[in-house]
Amino acid sequence: MSRYIATRAIRGANAIVHEADLMLQRAMEEKGPDTPVAFPNTAYYLPFILGMTGREVSKIGELPPVLEHAKSLLHPVPPDARWTPYLGETLDSGMATLFAEEIIMALKFVYGLQPEPMPGLELAGSTSFTSPDNGGGPSADGHLNGPIDDIQLRSWGIQLVDGRMPGFAAIVGCAKSNEVAVKIVRELQRRNILTFLIGNVNGRSIIHQLVEEGVELGYDTYTVPFGTDTISAIYPLGFATRSALTFGGMKGGQARDILLYNKNRVFAFVLALGEVDDLKYATAAGAINFGFPVIADTIIPEILPTGVTDYEHVISMPFNEIEGADDLERAERLVQKCIEVRGVKVQITEVPVPVPYGSAFEGEVVRRADMQVEFGGKNSRAYEYLRMVDLDEIEDGKIELIGSDFDTVEEGGYMDMGILVEVAGRKMEKDFEPVLERQIHYFINGASGVQHIGQRDIAWIRISKGAAEKGFNLKHFGDILYARFHGDFGTIVDKVQVKIFTEPEVYAEWLEKARAAYDERNVRIGTMTDESVDQFYSCTLCQSFAPDHVCIISPERLGLCGAYNWLDCKASFQINPTGPNQPIIKGDISDQDKGYFSGVNEYAVSASHGSVNEVAVYSIMENPMTACGCFECIAMLIPEANGIMIVSREDTSMTPAGMTFSTLAGVAGGGLQTPGVMGHGKFYITSPKFISADGGFKRVVWLSSILKEQMADQLKEVAEREGDPDLIDKIADETVCTDVEGLLKHLQEKGHPALEMEPMM
Amino acid sequence: MTIEIPKEKYTGAVREVTLGATADEGGTRAHTLTIGGESTLPYLQFEGTIPNRPALALEIRDRKPDDWSPLLLQAWGEAMDDPGEWAKAAEAAGADLIYMVLSLTDADGEPNTPEYARAAVRKVLDATSLPMAVVGPGQAEIDNELIVPVAEEAEGERLLLGICEEKNYRTIVAAALAHNHLVQSKTPMDVNLSKQLVILIHDMGLPLERIVMDPTTGALGYGIEYGYSVMERLRLAALGGDQMTQQPMLVNPGEEAWRVKEAKVGEGVPENWGDWERRALDWEAVTAIALVHSGANMLVLRHPETLRRVRSVLDDLLGSQS
């Protein structure tokens, strides 16, 4: 906590409370305690006072206790020599300031000094005031807006609550130039952010700047000029208080709840332009109580630790030091920073490409004859690589093509291409990189006339002649990825930028980096064990079909459908905290070998609605995990062979169990625990935890040949790990036998180890 | 010899939800309507209590619908030409509440407008003093555009607003928050999705006492058994104490039954299908009665005769209403 800020805020608070005191004394004498005080067109009395204290102030005579309360929140200015924490004092001062400001504004209404006159100003939609200056009738002209009325509060409130409006910005002071003022407001409008204008620097306000430039102000343009003094900052904070009362269902006096509601749900921030004086510091301290951070375009001390606000409390971004070619670019960056600090999310609803876009086009095939160009495949190479970088290293929405576009190759030709997606986000984790990277396949496939196959450095993309004719070019890959990552993964991704490489040297350089990253990820996945984590994840996605089934997904046991591994679930939970993948704390381990965990058992009982009481995560013989029906494979005990067979869902042949896959599926599925039968994902076979309680991979006596082919390399490694390099040959498949007699004969001939192992039953 | 009937002990109960507001409560309804509250499976009164009867709603539109069966047009007659008159006729037919569906377009095919929707709702509020539900035509953008002004128009009446679906619920919930109404959530026949949407709506700050959930059902012969199974599981979870599944359930047998061939088609069907009107009415009534037995707390019906029949079944199950 900066002592400097504390000092100035505390000093500012003392001064403004004193000023309110003097004004109130004068009003009591001149107008009397029974004179009504009210803001126009609101049912919330003086809203900040109502929200924080529960007092329904309607007369001047009811203000003194409020002022006393404000005084009780004041603290002495810290002496030069003492260095203690000041956050509490500063926040108190902020609250005192806001009480004083609302008292002052209420009294100014009594004296006809609010809304602040501004001759000649015409507002595009505003609070209606009945004032003698307007001949007794309501008028939107000749004055600033003053407080927002209840009708507008509800109308905007709905948009703030449903997310169409991401938040509001309170701009205090005066921009470097009129041009910069306009740019800042336009940048905010472009993002649908409500803009409130307040205050001045040496008599000049951003309101003056915008009016001079002919910018339309008022409700209709989402820019509300409250007043050219700092005190009118109470209006947006009163608006914030009323939001909580209206939409949060809170009652006056629930101060803490109201402030927390704003912190958690109202994405607002304060942008201080120009010099910050004591009163601005004091008012900003008030805003911080609401969880609204302050960003200043001048040099002020920062308050970086988080706590009252989600991220930093006070950020200094001296305007002239912002990187950028000119002031307009600097203004753009400044707004970008504000959005980051408050965690406002960008909403993108449409994918801006010249061809139709949607999941309906995902399965589309582009044949050679219709093809304009291809990347990857037989003649060229394409790769895609997504990496996480720091928030500061990335410019959101920047899409670059480095090298030539495909109009430089003949029709039906090919070229090498690399796609680098860089993402940053406060909730992003390095582990999510592969999860997000896999989405590139789906995102790019959504464009009509574009076909995407594969991933990593075996990606293969074709663009049809039709798409090329409509103007589809390489940069559009960037547009698609930018829009979709924000749209689908906005909860973990704050910024996205995309680079497309066709220039050979850059292409080669990044291919190296991508491959290094792929290797690193392989190692990371390979070394992640169930013991190395505290929690597993559930998957209840299939409960619509199998209501009592729940998958328990651990690093070494992926979901039985093969579609979800532990990292996918972790990311899915971040994106959708109420969704089907919930963390399960492992809890007490009662049997590490069989895989009995107290947390898993508790979760299984509740998620299976009491039909499963215990799960042995690593056993097929004792309380095996249940299955829905989506399994890639079914494992089943063959008692005569003292081992298990594994049949793939792609294998239609008869098996030694006397049943085909489809018949077996009826036994294995439906959320029932049947010892000796288990549905699972095919890559679970290669896991060291594959039925490890029952002897592991060496128990496999029969395996569909399609799995042997598809997973030849991995299975070879497993055989070596198990200390029996020829093991795969000893395992039968449907080409060897489809009955138990044939199986036993084969196992004896080959000397399969299962025959010598201890009995399974 | 006495036989002891085994009884199940449940730890949870369905949440009570109250629609409508009387003058004392800031509205203009003659009475409020409370649904839910049961602490046992449907009609096992020996095991727990069933404090509130299922509510029977009649569906009306903001204008005469283009695609309703001639049988329904015949039943409602000229009342359909005016939403206020239609609402009065529905009240006279014995409805517990009016369930108003806003149309996508006007009679000429032009998009419906907020002004029209607002005026139609006002008409119905003035014509009847029954509690009321208002839902959009079922297209996200238009639903939002129409429901927000309706919510404002009916401030204080504690309407049931809808329909909140996973892809589009935030605006409707925000409108309910701003103007103190209730919402209907709807998910496609899935226990977890039902529950998740209730959580999401509740997360926005709407109290659970203001959410009615529609688990979605099918008509007789068109998936009703699947709907039944989802409702049964939701109810078992609710009674088992799962807070987020304890919302009263609303189902729409009227809409479901009247869109299946057996109810819709009068000509060119096998002769042994029998009389069209009788068949159509049976289809809606049997669908509705099956749903009553599945634990529905609110049923939306289309034909006044169906309402009479379902009412008589409820009287048999719960004793006639005083």
Chain A within 8 Å of B4 (Cβ-Cβ)? no
CATH of domain A531-756: 3.40.1470.10
Q: What number does CATH give the domain A117-340?
A: 3.40.50.2030
Name the CA radius of gyration of chain B, rounded: 19
Burial group, residue B6, by CB count within 10 angstroms (0-12, 13-18, 19+): exposed
- Please give the DSSP secondary-structure letter assigned to residue B128: -
Contact at CB, B196 and A578, closer than 8 angstroms: yes
Separation of alpha carbons A95 and A53, rounded Å:
11
Q: Which residues, numbered 218 to 277 in chain A, qualify as contacts with chain B under a Cβ-Cβ cut-off of 8 Å?
A: 246-249, 261, 265
Tell me what pLDDT residue A1 has: 54
| A580 contact B CB<8A | yes
With tokens 């990593």, the residue in question is A456
- Is any Cβ of chain A less than 8 angstroms from the Cβ of B176? no
The predicted pLDDT at position B296 comes to 98
Tally the residues of chain A: 761
Please name which of B252, B241, B242, B250 lies closest in space to residue B195, comparing C-alpha atoms.
B242
Q: How many CB atoms lie within 10 A of CB B66?
A: 11
Task: Tell me which chain B residue has its CA closest to the CA of residue A539.
Answer: B192
Contacts of B81 (CB under 8 A, 6+ apart): B64
pLDDT at A85: 60
Residue position matching structure tokens 């009397």: A32
CB of A566 closer than 8 Å to CB of A546: no
Q: Smallest Cα–Cα separation from A405: which of A503, A313, A488?
A: A503
pLDDT reported for residue A296: 93
- pLDDT reported for residue A139: 55
Q: How far apart are CA A456 and CA A518, in angstroms?
A: 8
Q: Which residues make Cβ contacts (< 8 Å) with residue A183, sequence separation at least 6?
A: A327, A328, A331, A332
> What is residue A215's predicted lDDT score, i.e. its pLDDT?
92
The CATH topology of domain B17-317 is TIM Barrel (3.20.20)
CATH topology of domain A3-110: Helicase, Ruva Protein; domain 3 (1.10.8)
What pLDDT score does A134 carry?
A: 43
Query: Which residues in chain B are closer than 8 Å to A157, comparing Cβ atoms?
Result: 174, 178
Instruction: Return the half-sphere exposure (C-beta side, CA atoms, 13 A cut-off) of residue A711.
Output: 20
Q: A688: burial class by Cβ within 10 Å (0-12, 13-18, 19+)?
A: middle
| Backbone angles phi and psi of A312, in degrees to 5 | -70, 150
Cα A341 to Cα A292: distance, rounded to the nearest angstrom? 10
**Would you tell me which residues 191-250 of chain B have a C-beta closer than 8 angstroms to some C-beta of chain A?**
191-193, 196, 199-200, 203-207, 229, 233, 236-237, 240
Q: Are the C-beta atoms of A409 and A388 separated by less than 8 Å?
A: no
For the beta carbon of residue A396, count every other beta carbon within 10 angstroms.
18
Cα A478 to Cα A498: distance, rounded to the nearest angstrom: 5
Q: Which of B171, B177, B233 sits opposite A247 (nearest CB)?
A: B177
A161 CB within 8 Å of a chain B CB: yes
Domain at A359-513, CATH from 3.40.50.300, 3.30.1330.20, 3.40.50.1370, 3.30.1650.10: 3.30.1650.10
Q: Count chain A–chain B contacts defined by CB atoms under 8 A.
A: 61
A580-610 core/surface letters (b: 16 or more CB in 10 A; e: else): bbbbbebeeeeeeebbbbebbbebbbebbbe
Residue A23 CB burial class (10 angstroms; 0-12, 13-18, ≥19): buried
Q: How confident is the model at residue A623, as a pLDDT?
A: 94
Contact between A543 and B190 using a beta-carbon 8 Å cutoff: yes
Counting as low any pLDDT under 70, the low residues of chain A are 1, 80-85, 128-140, 305-306, 346-349
B178, A578: Cβ pair inside 8 Å? no
Any idea of the CA torsion for B135, B138, B139, B143, to the nearest 10 degrees?
0
Q: What is the mean pLDDT of residues B60-77?
A: 96
Closest CA relative to residue A600, chosen from A579, A614, A618? A614
Q: Which two tokens stand for residue B223?
A: 């998936």
Look up the ipTM and state it.
0.80
**Average pLDDT of the residues in B83-107:** 97
Residue type at A597 in one-letter notation: F
CA A595 to each of CA A557, A570, A624, A632: distance values in angstroms, whole numbers, following the listed order:
11, 21, 10, 22
Give B149→chain A minimum CA distance, Å: 9
Task: Name the closest residue on chain B to residue A164, using Cα atoms.
Answer: B171
Report which DSSP code applies to A204.
Answer: B
d(CA B213, CA B249): 5
B170–A161 CB contact, under 8 Å? yes
Boundaries of every domain in chain B: 17-317
SS3 label, residue A414: strand
Place of tokens 């014509």: B127
CA–CA separation, A302 and A583 (whole Å): 37
**pLDDT of B74 higher than 70:** yes
CA distance B265 to chain A (A): 32
Give the pairing type, strands A294-296 and A314-316: parallel
| B192 contacts on A by Cβ (under 8 Å) | 540, 543-544, 580
Distance to chain A for B203, nearest Cα, Å: 10
Nearest Cα of chain B lies from the Cα of A571 at a distance, in angstroms, of 18
Least CA distance to B168: which residue of chain A?
Answer: A162
CA torsion sign, B112 to B116 to B122 to B123? negative
CB within 8 Å of B270: residues ≥ 6 apart:
none
What would the pLDDT profile of A671-692 be if each residue is shown by its tens digit?
889 999 999 999 999 999 999 9
Nearest chain A Cα distance for residue B310, angstroms: 30
Cβ of residue A547 closer than 8 Å to a chain B Cβ: yes
Question: Alpha carbon of A488 to those of A345, A350, A575, B40, B246: distances in Å?
Answer: 12, 12, 8, 41, 30
- A646 near A633, Cβ under 8 Å? yes
Interface contact A246-B190, CB threshold 8 A: no
- Is the Cβ pair B207, A249 closer than 8 Å? yes
Nearest CA in chain B to A248: B205
CB contact, 8 Å: A164 with chain B?
yes
Q: Give the separation between CA A735 and CA A633, rounded to whole angstroms.
A: 18
Query: In the beta sheet, which residues pair with residue B214?
Result: B186
Using the Cβ of B190 and the Cβ atoms of chain A, whether some distance falls under 8 Å is answered with: yes
Residue to mutate among B170, B202, B236, with most A CBs inside 10 A, is B170
Type of residue found at A219 = Y
